[in-house]
Structure 1
Amino acid sequence: MLHAYVPQNGHLLRLDPEEGLERALWIDLYRPMPEQVAAMAALGVAVPTLADMEEIEISNRLYREDDLEVMTVVLPGLSEHKEAMAGPVTFMLSPARLVTVRHHAPRPFETFPDRANRATLSCTSPERVFLGLVEEIVGRLADLMEGIGRSVDQISASVFPSEGPATAEALHGALHRVGRESELLSRIRLGLLTIERMLSYFGQTIDDRGDAHALRAAVKGEMRDIQALGVHADFLSQRIAMATDATLGMINLQQNATVRALSVVAALFLPPTLIASAYGMNFRLMPELDWPWGYPMAIGLMVLSAVLSWLYFKWRRWL
């Protein structure tokens, strides 16, 4: 899928598929088809494959080819089957246009064209479109982190309800949600790390561009936002760890209570079992075997021993 945009009255207007790509300021490629890759090659842009984008070496993620800056980051988004994931996104910045290549769907790529006029910089040049898109991405990551904070609040409320102890189902559900939020937070932190690295690389080339002063100020502002979000991510990580420990602790308490109840029940039957075992040995010389009240006496001893054990456990507050 290919979407091409041109600036118009402060917004980004999508070009019709029949129009040529030469006048496009931003071209967004989502799971590009061979004919779309060929169209980009006609413009002098070699579209990297997914395998190239997934290379972890820094030299393969941030490099320059002639006048084309190629920068790859890892962003959270949705897969083709609408499942949460983190995948690589490549920004190819040239003096004529910005080209982005992705194989999953981060939400900022859908929302930025309609909100380009709200960016700190306008969308009159490829560099400004690039920084505006990065600003939209950072804002989206901040929104996701706020959602994680609200989710952790709900998890804490379910683990420590005001009306009484949490049920086993609520604790298991809380543990499942904690795991999902922790995984999302790890994807967000990876995205912040790679964006920070990309902006640091881009900042080294600002002096070669015509609008260096405004671009440098925008880069510094976004770097400060990323650093602040990093501190917030550390705070959320601590909250998630505390919620995990609290949930596991409550589950252990419930399990311990169940084991204690079973242990007490087993202990109540120990004295009756001892009495029944003694009278079940069937030795020839056992005077109780000839007593008319021998059987009721044995039953009474077993009941009495169980009652005395129960009273003792109650006195010791083990029940």
Structure 2
Amino acid sequence: MINAYSADGSMRTLLPEEALRQLPDGVVWIDLVGPTPREDAYVESLVGVQIPTRDDLKDIEPSSRLYIEKDAVFMTASLVWRADGNDPELTDVAFILSGDRLITVRYAEPKSFQLFIAALCRVPDRMRDGVAMLARLLETIADRTAEILENTANRIDTLSSDIFRDRGRRRAPRFLEGKLSDIAEQHRLLSKVRDCLGSLSRLLTFLMNVQLVRDHKSDNSLCRAVAHDVETLSEHAAFIAGNIAFLLDASLGLINVEQNAIIKIFSIASVVFLPPTLVASLYGMNFRFMPELDWHYGYPLAIFAMILSAIIPFFVFRWKGWL
């Protein structure tokens, strides 16, 4: 799909079948969403710039992600996608500055793009060219990333409350084992966010040194502000990562404590019942000559000895504080 956005915030979907020889007047942003090879070729004929394919976007080398070719600036960033679900992913998005026009190529629907498009018609006067459009788009991406981090921090706080509060009401260690999967999900999301922030940081550093952007003082200042926000978000992400590591260690430690408590109960029970077992074993032997066999009260005395030998170790353990 090819969506063309004008400076006034209006949007028009371009189709290869239209066979336009030039773009409509006022188009400052061309957004290619899951383009086919035919659509790539069509846009290339309109703007005179080679459109990167899906395989081109997957290159991880900086020289393949950030470069200038024929006065066009090519940049690729990895953005978080489906962060609100249980299966977050990274999707590569290409940003191309060609003259006064911005071209984006993406094969997913990050929420930041949806938010930016929804707000596009409200502030059209600030985005009269591709550089301004890109600066505002990167600002929206940073804001969306900050929202993801805030939601992650809230989930981690909820997990912390579940793990450390109301311990008597939960079924441990099965309860804690269930929380481990929740911690793993948040760690996976946070790792995606940190990769995204690292990618954005490299892109912004490259972008601020491009002459085309340096000539736009207001947009360059906005890029610097976004770069500072990304740096701050990276520090906050590192802090959240530390909290996740602490929760993971704490959960594993509590599981070990609960398991040790269970083992301790079984150990004490075996020790408590060892003396009665010894008494029962003595009087369970079938020797012919045993003095106690002729005792009239031998059986109740044996029962009493077994009960007494179990009670004494129990109270000794209570006195030692082992129970």
Question: Normalising by the residue count of structure 1, what TM-score does the alignment of the two structures yield?
Answer: 0.87
Mapping of residues 262-301 of structure 1, within 5 Å: 262-301=266-305
Q: Give me the whole-angstrom Cα distance separating, in 1, the residues matched to 2:123 and 2:147.
A: 16
CA deviation map 1:55-89 (0-9, x unaligned): 1111111112212211111111039x984211211
**For 2:279, what is the secondary structure of its paired residue?**
helix
Tell me how far 1:128 sits from its aligned partner: 1.0
| 1:94 equivalent in structure 2 | 98
Tell me how far 1:96 sits from its aligned partner: 4.4
**For 1:4, what is the secondary structure of its paired residue?**
strand
| 1:193 equivalent in structure 2 | 198
Contact persistence 1:160–1:166 (CA under 8 A) = no
**For 1:196, what is the secondary structure of its paired residue?**
helix
| 2:12 equivalent in structure 1 | 15
Q: Give me the whole-angstrom Cα distance separating, in 1, the residues matched to 2:220 and 2:165.
A: 50
Letter in 2 for 1:271: P
Contact persistence 2:7–2:125 (CA under 8 A) = no
Letter in 1 for 2:147: D
**For 2:32, what is the secondary structure of its paired residue?**
strand
2:106 corresponds to 1:109: no
Contact persistence 2:208–2:214 (CA under 8 A) = no
| 1:5 equivalent in structure 2 | 5
Contact persistence 1:76–1:84 (CA under 8 A) = yes
2:204 corresponds to 1:203: no
Q: Give me the whole-angstrom Cα distance separating, in 2, the residues matched to 1:51 and 1:36.
A: 16
Q: Give me the whole-angstrom Cα distance separating, in 1, the residues matched to 2:146 and 2:62.
A: 25
Q: Give me the whole-angstrom Cα distance separating, in 2, the residues matched to 1:236 and 1:120.
A: 36
Tell me how far 1:219 sits from its aligned partner: 1.9
With over 3 angstroms needed to count, the CA separation of the structure-2 counterparts of 1:164 and 1:291, relative to structure 1, is: closer
Q: Give me the whole-angstrom Cα distance separating, in 1, the residues matched to 2:307 and 2:124.
A: 83
Q: Give me the whole-angstrom Cα distance separating, in 1, the residues matched to 2:241 and 2:38.
A: 44
Q: Give me the whole-angstrom Cα distance separating, in 1, the residues matched to 2:269 and 2:167.
A: 29
Tell me how far 1:200 sits from its aligned partner: 1.0
2:26 corresponds to 1:28: no
User: What 5-or-longer segments of structure 1 have no aligned partner?
Assistant: none
With over 3 angstroms needed to count, the CA separation of the structure-2 counterparts of 1:210 and 1:125, relative to structure 1, is: farther
**For 1:55, what is the secondary structure of its paired residue?**
coil
With over 3 angstroms needed to count, the CA separation of the structure-2 counterparts of 1:52 and 1:16, relative to structure 1, is: closer
CA deviation map 1:227-284 (0-9, x unaligned): 1112212222222222223333333332222222222212211112222333344345
| 1:41 equivalent in structure 2 | 44
| 2:156 equivalent in structure 1 | 152
Q: Give me the whole-angstrom Cα distance separating, in 1, the residues matched to 2:2 and 2:272.
A: 75
Higher alpha-carbon deviation: 244-253 or 301-310 = 244-253
| 1:134 equivalent in structure 2 | 138
State the number of aligned residues.
314
CA deviation map 1:188-242 (0-9, x unaligned): 111111111011111221x345843223212211111111112212222222222
With over 3 angstroms needed to count, the CA separation of the structure-2 counterparts of 1:92 and 1:306, relative to structure 1, is: same
| 1:244 equivalent in structure 2 | 248
Higher alpha-carbon deviation: 15-24 or 234-243 = 15-24
Letter in 1 for 2:61: E
| 1:68 equivalent in structure 2 | 72
Tell me how far 1:286 sits from its aligned partner: 3.4
| Identical-pair percentage | 36
Question: Normalising by the residue count of structure 2, what TM-score does the alignment of the two structures yield?
Answer: 0.86
With over 3 angstroms needed to count, the CA separation of the structure-2 counterparts of 1:317 and 1:304, relative to structure 1, is: same
**For 1:25, what is the secondary structure of its paired residue?**
strand
